[in-house]
Homo-oligomer: A and B are copies of this chain.
Amino acid sequence: MAKENKLKIIPLGGLGEIGKNMTVHEYKDSIVIVDCGMTFPGDEMLGVDVVIPDVTYLMKNKDKIKGLLLTHGHEDHIGAIPYVLKKIDMPIYGTKLTIGLLQNKLKEHNLENANLNVVKHGDKFKLGHFEVEFIRTTHSIPDSAAIALTSPIGTVIQTGDFKVDFTPISGDVMDLNRFAELGNKGVLALLSDSTNVIRPGYTLSERTVGETFRDLFYKAEGRIIVATFASNIYRIQQIIDAAELNDRKVVISGRSMVNNINVANELGYLRVNPETLIEINDMNKYNKKEIVIITTGSQGEPMSALTRIANNEHRKIELMSDDMVIISATPIPGNEITVSKVINKLLEKGTNVIYEALADIHVSGHACQEELKLIHTLVKPKYFIPVHGETRHLRHHADISYQLGTPRENIFILENGQSLEFTRDSANLGQMVQAGNILVDGLGVGDVGNIVLRDRKHLSEDGLIVVVVTINKQTGAVESGPDIVSRGFVYVRESEELMEEVRKIVKQTLDTCEAKKISDWSTIKSNIRDDLRTYLYTTLKRNPMILPIIMEV
């Protein structure tokens, strides 16, 4: 009897982390991929711009790849595509807005010939051995979808990011009925969003934020500046609605905000009177009570429009004393301090600032516990795999699945690279494939690794001292130096004595080496390093990087 064919699910990102979502589904000669996201570097990844998944496994199995399916247009689901497409050409499928946003992004990377395919919710099509279906969900960006993948082994549903918003701003509600239908037919496995699993109850509807906007806009005496996520088209819709209700024009500021609003508007995802949107240069033609500015910078990003406004560095927008600034977002963990700084800067200028602690100007885009239970209950999966979360989220989600009746042995907490293999009536851990973080720094993809990061960390904490000596090739005698150059160590003008002392110590080391007839350069260098390190640690309790360089003439 031939070996039974198995369905493999291999997460390449999004497990044990928030971000960088990417999942491989493989059956026989067919691979389909769900999402291809990036994440932002952690504090320890100094100087890194973006982190993407390691796709070595896909490079090795290029021939099997039938397509990449996108659940929605957020960076943590589409942000790695430009980097991956340069290595793996493949057709990409997504709903209209998702593909529109991706197109925009690919243009910036000069990748205009990608094979992009617009899919509608409810569409079903074959990709190799898989039947693919996009199911409507609700999230903090329109046109989001869950994806059902049916192979001969069974149906797997991947929720993508979602919340259950019964009163979404535009478009229909989540297609709960389809989840129920599939549940009735029998679902092999559910991979579900764990981002908010620690929060009890329900996430509030996006609509609640609109009420706050209407109240605030009604009261405002001067201009209104609202910072939010550029991708939150619903939020932007509600700001525009509140503006129109109060006879205010809308100005857009910030590159990504302008881009996203253009795409959403062109594709019909925004309802806006043609005369509402005005150019930033025309702002002065209006009374300040007639202006709303929608801007980026809700996370306190240093180069964003809001931060530049707060620091008086924006070329076109200068703060006025009766401006009202609304930060319609919650700080993503790690951004609390940069957001506080912007708030404080604005307040110092006398601006009225409304932020999350003061008013209901933000709701999450992710499902809380009761919503997660709802989907789980409708789908009734045989196997459950919590995804999109740190370990604590995955464990919690696993516990909820267990409470809902899934046997412990049918719940799998995976890690990136850990494959799971299904037959029709079994699931078992399979091989570990290569997975991890690829660091992008400028145009370099993957050329910054642990050694480089360790050096950057060392340099950032104590700076460096370069010691240069010229030595005569024949005689071994010092021809010139030691010259000492330091950066990031001490303020040199006020530390001349110290630098003189450093020079003396290196001289002594060189003398000792000469006396001991040590002519091996690496030994001389390591002696210089050791003697200097000891001296500096004893006198200053500091440990700069020491770079001895020997030139021979």
- A interface residues with partner B (beta carbon < 8 Å): 16, 42-43, 46-47, 198-199, 333-334, 336-337, 340, 343-345, 347-348, 353, 357-358, 390-392, 395, 441-444, 447-449, 451-453, 455-464, 466, 468, 470, 479-481, 483, 485, 487-491, 494-495, 539-542, 545, 547, 549, 551-553
Tell me how far the C-beta of A353 lies from the nearest C-beta in chain B, rounded to whole angstroms: 7
Contact B463 A459 (CB under 8 A): yes
Contact B549 A468 (CB under 8 A): yes
Contact A487 B447 (CB under 8 A): no
Contact A464 B459 (CB under 8 A): yes
Contact with A480, one of B449, B488, B547, B551 (Cβ below 8 angstroms): B551
Contact with A551, one of B447, B470, B494 (Cβ below 8 angstroms): B470
Determine the chain B residues whose CB is within 8 A of the CB of A487 once the complex forms. 455, 459, 464, 545, 547
Determine the chain B residues whose CB is within 8 A of the CB of A462 once the complex forms. 47, 441
Contact B443 A553 (CB under 8 A): no
Interface of A is mostly: mixed
Total copies of the chain: 2
Determine the chain B residues whose CB is within 8 A of the CB of A444 once the complex forms. 490, 540-542
Closest B residue to A473 by beta carbon equals B480
29 A-B Cβ contacts within 8 A?
Answer: A42-B337, A43-B43, A46-B488, A47-B488, A334-B336, A334-B337, A336-B336, A340-B392, A344-B391, A344-B392, A347-B391, A442-B540, A442-B541, A442-B542, A444-B490, A448-B490, A448-B491, A452-B463, A455-B488, A456-B461, A456-B463, A458-B488, A459-B463, A466-B466, A466-B547, A468-B551, A470-B470, A481-B551, A549-B549
Closest B residue to A461 by beta carbon equals B47
Contact with A447, one of B340, B441, B442, B494 (Cβ below 8 angstroms): B494
Cα separation A457 to B348 with both chains bound (whole Å): 26
Cα separation A488 to B457 with both chains bound (whole Å): 8
Cα separation A464 to B47 with both chains bound (whole Å): 12
Tell me how far the C-beta of A83 lies from the nearest C-beta in chain B, rounded to whole angstroms: 14
The 4 closest A-B pairs by CB, nearest first: A442-B541, A460-B460, A455-B488, A459-B459
Cα separation A466 to B443 with both chains bound (whole Å): 22
Closest B residue to A43 by beta carbon equals B337
Contact A337 B333 (CB under 8 A): yes
Cα separation A334 to B43 with both chains bound (whole Å): 11
Tell me how far the C-beta of A224 lies from the nearest C-beta in chain B, rounded to whole angstroms: 19
Contact with A459, one of B453, B488, B490 (Cβ below 8 angstroms): B488
Closest B residue to A447 by beta carbon equals B490
Determine the chain B residues whose CB is within 8 A of the CB of A488 once the complex forms. 46-47, 452-453, 455-456, 458-459
Closest B residue to A495 by beta carbon equals B447
Contact with A441, one of B464, B495, B542 (Cβ below 8 angstroms): B542
Inter-chain pairs besides A441-B542, A479-B553, 20 sampled, C-beta below 8 Å: A16-B344, A46-B488, A47-B460, A199-B357, A334-B336, A340-B390, A340-B392, A343-B391, A443-B539, A444-B490, A444-B542, A452-B463, A452-B488, A456-B460, A456-B488, A459-B459, A459-B460, A468-B551, A470-B551, A487-B545
